[in-house]
Structure 1
């Protein structure tokens, strides 16, 4: 191998970890990270140590897919116990922080009775003093908000918790990652570097641009005993060249789940990036990294869920992203951490916040944020937005998992923006209960019947039909269903023809076709050309 001119193999996974757990957005902001350490990681590890056989049985049960069960077949208990002990030692500050949040909530519940909150600042737990403001809402319900930028500049934000796991995949099969920590593996390289490390950009560029093996080894500080494994991640074989789109139309490419690439000869817009690997036998056709442009003008993020913000895709793309557009959060609430602060902390220096009905204009295009409702278990979360994208006179909306519980909202949006040509909407209308995602943030348990009623669910047939009626599109595409095999590791979804979301989306597609609207549920890959 000519070690001065090597390429990164297209099936190399650059997997971000936090304390050996798969990293997602709630593990970056210090407040949500603290709550997930105590309310998720430590609980799952302790449960596995006590009953490994029960975890092994649960993992084999399809009905339990996505549950809080470690997938090591009841083995490696000693290693999990060591990881738990390391977490208790290394994350003392965040564990104390988590307990202080619970203590603060209890204090406010007991003592904030509608009178001034000023005397209660003295009773704020010591570790939280200077990081919180005590507040009432207009119904005199007490709460607090964090000064989140201060937390990022405190001992509670520690980049040494971040690391990167490098490994080669040879198929789409991966176990569900959010409930199983990573343990040592001789075929994988574990780099103790933060997500912002510029060596990750240099490594990622080598997918298309050859580089020196010795230089990238030095940049990433590869230990001598891992050099042979590291070298296996590279090849001298030229990758397939990207063919830049140079036509006069708008090209739409579906990459799977909620990931759509919109291109003209001048502009590229990528929504909710989740990109499949290639370089191994595949049963489902798909676009992959080789189909992305060398520069992405705008990456649009719809909301702060792990299947829409995937660091495993975003960090390798960081070097080619000009702007990443995120919804603005509610500024300091525990359940709604700032996406702008999060992305900046992990090396994205080009973050643009967008509010509802804000517009970004460029060339002959515009991006307008429109309301995203539902799918967040009725929590006050503002970091969610749908996108109205205009290219020339051609208009599309990407509503992701927004659940159209009140059609008048989108009717009012239509009155301002007019009809659209194409709608992309998610119809995963079962959804998990509140506790599946937000459980670690709760300071008091929620009754099971209430938890079950507040779901992370998108639109069903009737609600999807209301959206179509509001915007009068020529085409409707159901997407963001998590059906692709390369999504299962993060979505934990397996449908049958009788699954409720499939039945409901079939009804919408049938209804659209009956009204002369082109309609389809997207799967795998799709390319469509449109006139501007």
Structure 2
């Protein structure tokens, strides 16, 4: 193995996997991972093994690419069956946990407001000592699962964590959430937990030369994969980022909801999703354009296009502090983002509450309430970030949906006139079951499911935000149109799509008020002085 100083090639990608499935928030928390394994992964694999031709035929239709279909050829049905059998055998406690959660829900449904103390003895054995029973003020019984304790139980399975390394020649990648990775998909599939220091050592070599041999030893790269591992490295130094030394704030749009704000003193990056670097006619910023140290990373919420573990693991060694919204400990739909990141090796994770302010060099960060977009579930771990730097203010509102415009009226005096509003307008999102279905013990009736969608603001609601917050400039972002997001979002809109129609209408509203407005695509840079 090479032991001279070398760099990691800029086209090297990582896929973090859990039990061979692409990982996201709900597959890390031991409070929710068993539900997705039991109610989603097993069902998908059972369906594929029983009727592989149905899956293959369905995926001939691009409109079904994000649906419940495994994207493997019929010839691999035996490999999927082997994974199904191994999952059933090795994750038996996860299946038992899922049943216990369902049984506990049924137990609590029988409560009519009398004391819950006698029910503790009837809690399913697997959950004993991990739950507190309680009523809300309408006397509806529920249970708080003690998530920190679960992380210290056998249900948190670092043994099921792994990473796959590969080089990419372009943006095209298959949709990841409906299809497990199989042995043979990558010669560099390494059984290491996400917190492994070898991951930091590897991705530090994007900008600082290191020894491939030492990293291979740290990661346990088998000798059979040594040639493939060596191909990840080069002696050619990468492009050096341009440090910002000017006055004011340099703002760079990296795509989707990822925005880098820099002053001479500090750097702030939101919802990191970064393109890899390879020859392309589409100009974009990549990892090579990031500062060697990112002082603050801000996460708006846990959806996989905003909290992308694939990108975050690559940046972990660069990040000073990562700021996340505080979760609601009383909802299974809302596991702690802080715990997710701390357990996966991030060193300085802090939670921010609504209207809490964190002082940073030359400015501050404030959590702004983010309502909507989560199918009316009790999800508290979502926040818009008000970033104040060098006398400028930018609200990174993500997918906020102005369901109640008066909230922005109340906020107007606290937020003050904004220099820039960044707002997502995914105004027609997927139905509740598309994301949250595995959390439900019983399927949602179709009418209810279709009514509770993951919607952001349409033009009318975006205009309400505009009315109260008075931004000097508006950017419609987080639309999922950059090609390097297709493997997680599968969104390609034309001008007839509701999202494009509504965002175009909002741009015209802004222009009618002499407020510059744009929908950036691929990349953008501006200086706020």
Q: TM-score, normalised by structure 2?
A: 0.99
Q: Please say if residues 187 and 229 of structure 1, whose CA atoms lie closer than 8 Å, have aligned partners that are also in contact.
A: no
Cα deviation per residue 1:34-67 (whole Å; 9 max; x = unaligned)? Answer: 1000111001111111111111121121221211
Aligned to 2:316, which of 318, 332, 335?
318
Residue equivalent to 1:418:
416
Mapped partners of 1:478, 1:187: distance in 2:
37
Is 1:357 matched with 2:355? yes
Residue equivalent to 1:465:
463
Residue equivalent to 1:129:
128
Q: Give ranges in structure 2 of 5+ residues lacking alignment.
A: none
The offset of 1:219, in angstroms, is: 1.1
Is 1:189 matched with 2:188? yes
The offset of 1:332, in angstroms, is: 4.1
1:334-413 → structure 2 map (5 Å cutoff): 334-413=332-411
Q: Please say if residues 31 and 98 of structure 1, whose CA atoms lie closer than 8 Å, have aligned partners that are also in contact.
A: no
Does the residue aligned with 1:16 lie in a helix, a strand or coil?
strand
Mapped partners of 2:14, 2:330: distance in 1:
31
The offset of 1:158, in angstroms, is: 1.5
Cα deviation per residue 1:121-179 (whole Å; 9 max; x = unaligned)? Answer: 11100000000011111111111111111000111112001001011111100111000
The offset of 1:186, in angstroms, is: 6.2
Tell me which stretches of 4 or more aligned residues in structure 1 moved more than 4 Å: none
Residue equivalent to 2:52:
52
The offset of 1:203, in angstroms, is: 0.3
Cα deviation per residue 1:255-277 (whole Å; 9 max; x = unaligned)? Answer: 01100000011110000000000
Residue equivalent to 1:226:
225
1:142-161 → structure 2 map (5 Å cutoff): 142-161=141-160
Mapped partners of 1:454, 1:142: distance in 2:
23
Q: Please say if residues 2 and 236 of structure 1, whose CA atoms lie closer than 8 Å, have aligned partners that are also in contact.
A: no
Q: TM-score, normalised by structure 1?
A: 0.98
Is 1:303 matched with 2:319? no
The offset of 1:5, in angstroms, is: 1.5
Structure 1 stretch displaced more, 18-27 or 51-60? 51-60
Mapped partners of 1:324, 1:377: distance in 2:
26
Q: Please say if residues 256 and 484 of structure 1, whose CA atoms lie closer than 8 Å, have aligned partners that are also in contact.
A: yes
Mapped partners of 1:57, 1:265: distance in 2:
55
Note closer, same or farther for the CA distance 1:267–1:517 as it changes in structure 2 (3 Å cut): same
Q: Please say if residues 34 and 94 of structure 1, whose CA atoms lie closer than 8 Å, have aligned partners that are also in contact.
A: yes
1:34-49 → structure 2 map (5 Å cutoff): 34-49=34-49
Q: Please say if residues 372 and 456 of structure 2, whose CA atoms lie closer than 8 Å, have aligned partners that are also in contact.
A: yes
Does the residue aligned with 1:390 lie in a helix, a strand or coil?
strand
Residue equivalent to 1:266:
265
Mapped partners of 2:472, 2:121: distance in 1:
60
Residue equivalent to 1:17:
17
Cα deviation per residue 1:72-112 (whole Å; 9 max; x = unaligned)? Answer: 13330000000011101111111100110001101111x21
Residue equivalent to 1:73:
73
Cα deviation per residue 1:10-44 (whole Å; 9 max; x = unaligned)? Answer: 11111100000001010111121010001110011
Mapped partners of 1:275, 1:13: distance in 2:
11
The offset of 1:198, in angstroms, is: 0.2
Aligned to 1:486, which of 471, 484, 487?
484
Residue equivalent to 1:451:
449
Mapped partners of 1:188, 1:458: distance in 2:
40
Mapped partners of 2:417, 2:237: distance in 1:
45
Does the residue aligned with 2:461 lie in a helix, a strand or coil?
helix
The offset of 1:217, in angstroms, is: 1.5
Does the residue aligned with 2:403 lie in a helix, a strand or coil?
coil
Is 1:198 matched with 2:197? yes
Residue equivalent to 1:239:
238
Mapped partners of 2:135, 2:178: distance in 1:
36
Mapped partners of 1:14, 1:446: distance in 2:
35
Mapped partners of 2:452, 2:153: distance in 1:
34
Mapped partners of 1:332, 1:205: distance in 2:
38
Does the residue aligned with 2:370 lie in a helix, a strand or coil?
coil
Residue equivalent to 1:86:
86
Note closer, same or farther for the CA distance 1:283–1:66 as it changes in structure 2 (3 Å cut): farther
Cα deviation per residue 1:489-513 (whole Å; 9 max; x = unaligned)? Answer: 1012111110000000000001111
Q: Please say if residues 250 and 527 of structure 2, whose CA atoms lie closer than 8 Å, have aligned partners that are also in contact.
A: yes
Is 1:497 matched with 2:492? no
**Number of matched residues?**
529
Mapped partners of 1:530, 1:261: distance in 2:
13
Q: Please say if residues 8 and 235 of structure 1, whose CA atoms lie closer than 8 Å, have aligned partners that are also in contact.
A: yes
Cα deviation per residue 1:424-454 (whole Å; 9 max; x = unaligned)? Answer: 0000111000000100000112100000000
Residue equivalent to 2:172:
173
* C-alpha RMSD over aligned residues: 1.1
The offset of 1:2, in angstroms, is: 6.9
The offset of 1:180, in angstroms, is: 0.4
Mapped partners of 1:401, 1:203: distance in 2:
33
Q: Please say if residues 17 and 163 of structure 1, whose CA atoms lie closer than 8 Å, have aligned partners that are also in contact.
A: yes
Mapped partners of 1:314, 1:213: distance in 2:
21
Mapped partners of 2:472, 2:185: distance in 1:
53
Mapped partners of 2:186, 2:234: distance in 1:
17
Structure 1 stretch displaced more, 366-375 or 61-70? 61-70
The offset of 1:284, in angstroms, is: 2.1
Does the residue aligned with 1:30 lie in a helix, a strand or coil?
coil
Mapped partners of 1:364, 1:7: distance in 2:
34
The offset of 1:282, in angstroms, is: 2.0
The offset of 1:238, in angstroms, is: 1.3
